[in-house]
Amino acid sequence: MAPVFLSYQDALQGFIRKRVLNQADAEDLSQQVLLKVHRHCESLPQVKNVKAWLYEISRNVVNDFHRSRQRETYLTEDTDLAMAPAEQSPLQELENCVGPLLQLLPPEYAEPLRLSDLEGLPQQEIATKLGLSLSGAKSRIQRGREKLKAVFLECCDFEMDRQGKLISVDIKPDCQTLKAC
């Protein structure tokens, strides 16, 4: 196992280094690759292309590294939001406006949508509670979402970042119904 890894070690480290900004992280990831190769060395005789196998392991280790960094970023952002309770997050602002937006919808769409998306009830339970067939409940929830989206786009300005994460929500000045939010 060691001779196989050592023959590709420099190339794999270069591969990892191109995908990770920090040299120390690249070295750590190279060690993780070595550990994974060691753990899976019993499957080595079945591997037809050792070089491709090593690069696949390296690529997976790098991808895992970036995913863990992304999670750390989200956790940091959530912690920052928790530390500043006086300032509402865009999602909290949006949640505060959903109630009045739902009131603008006809009751036959607002109630199934409220039960589904705000209270989290299963659609079968909503159908039973409202005396509808399952397909009828699904249809009303879907139509309610479409109507809610139309009202939202009519009454709210919103901004999203490149990842599709909500940055800000503002009520349009000409939307009198939502000024109470």
What distance in Å separates the CA atoms of residue 181 and residue 177, rounded to the nearest whole number?
A: 9
Domains of the chain: 2-83 (1.10.1740.10), 90-178 (1.10.10.10)
For the chain, what is the total number of helices (H) and then of strands (E)?
7, 2
Q: How confident is the model at residue 11 (pLDDT cuts 50, 70, 90)?
A: confident
Q: Of 115, 101, 120, which is closest to residue 158 (Cα–Cα)?
A: 101
| Segment 29-75, tens digit of pLDDT | 988 888 888 887 776 667 778 888 888 888 889 888 888 877 665 55
Predicted confidence at residue 87, as pLDDT, reads: 54
| Segment 141-157, tens digit of pLDDT | 999 999 988 888 888 77
What distance in Å separates the CA atoms of residue 13 and residue 34, rounded to the nearest whole number?
A: 11
**Residues counted in the chain:** 181
| Segment 69-118, tens digit of pLDDT | 776 655 555 555 554 544 556 556 666 667 778 888 899 999 998 888 87
Q: Give the angle subtended at the CA of 38 by the CAs of 33 and 40, to the nearest 5°.
A: 95
Predicted confidence at residue 112, as pLDDT, reads: 93
What distance in Å separates the CA atoms of residue 99 and residue 117, rounded to the nearest whole number?
A: 12
